[in-house]
A = this chain, B = another copy of it.
Amino acid sequence: MDRMSASTSDRPVSRRRETTQRRLFEAAVALISEQGYEATTVDEIAGRAGVAKGTVYYNFGGKSELYTALMEWGVTRLADTLKGALPPSGSGTAPGEALTAVLRAGVEFIGEHESLARLLMAEAWRTNRAWYATVLQIRTEAIGVITGLLDELTADGSLPPDLDTGLAGSALFGMVVTVALDWRTLRPDRPVEEVHMALARMVEGLVGPVASTGGTSTRDF
């Protein structure tokens, strides 16, 4: 049977290793989101992941490398989710619909990956750290999806042409994250739909009573 690597120096990262790394990610996210990076020890992370301390160093090289890898792992998941929520451009969806869809995806993502979201938000405002670049990349990528959408909407006249889409994108981003995390913190019992609905109604005001090209004019709730 075909071995997966015919060539010798290929590094496919064995299945075993992959599992270990995922466990370490999960343990690290949980602990660091609650306590912060500095307050979380490598021993704790290893312990929670059910591996020995040395394994962390074997797999990642060090605490900060683990953390960086963890955040990159996080970005990928978030960016993929948001991009996946974008309807194919050019399809006949109503102007505001794509925006609402992306925001919903954001809310759902935070609901499902709460710890990761907390961790990223807590780290997002420190300008001095080694991994600031990584954090910035996350923000840029996530906000970029929203901003890009706003650009499209201003281009086709659904939004005022002089809208500062960069600022608006960051505003919407902050809005979604804050609302979603407050929801998880203070009223976790509320269903996602309710939260998303309330958010969508607010945003609807932004996109405005747009001359929607036919379709249900958002009154079916």
Please, what's the 1-or-0 string for A47-78, where 1 marks a CB less than 8 Å from any CB in chain B? 00000000000000000000000000000000
- Cβ of B209 and Cβ of A129 under 8 Å apart? no
Whether A100 is near chain B, meaning CB under 8 Å from some CB there, is no
The number of times this chain is found in the oligomer is 2
- Cβ of A36 and Cβ of B34 under 8 Å apart? no
Determine how close the nearest CB of chain B comes to the CB of A125; give it in whole angstroms.
Answer: 4
**CB < 8 Å neighbour of A174 from B158, B179, B185:** B179
Identify whether the interface residues of A are mostly helix, strand, loop, or mixed: helix
Whether A121 is near chain B, meaning CB under 8 Å from some CB there, is yes
Please, what's the 1-or-0 string for A166-183, where 1 marks a CB less than 8 Å from any CB in chain B? 011011111111110111
Whether A199 is near chain B, meaning CB under 8 Å from some CB there, is yes
CB-contacts of A126-153 with B (<8 A)? 126-129
Whether A155 is near chain B, meaning CB under 8 Å from some CB there, is no
Whether A164 is near chain B, meaning CB under 8 Å from some CB there, is yes
Determine how close the nearest CB of chain B comes to the CB of A207; give it in whole angstroms.
Answer: 7
Determine how close the nearest CB of chain B comes to the CB of A64; give it in whole angstroms.
Answer: 12
Inter-chain CA distance A68–B37, complex, in Å, is 19
- Cβ of B38 and Cβ of A36 under 8 Å apart? yes
Shortest Cβ distance from A183 into B: residue = B167
Most buried by B among A33, A121, A171: A171
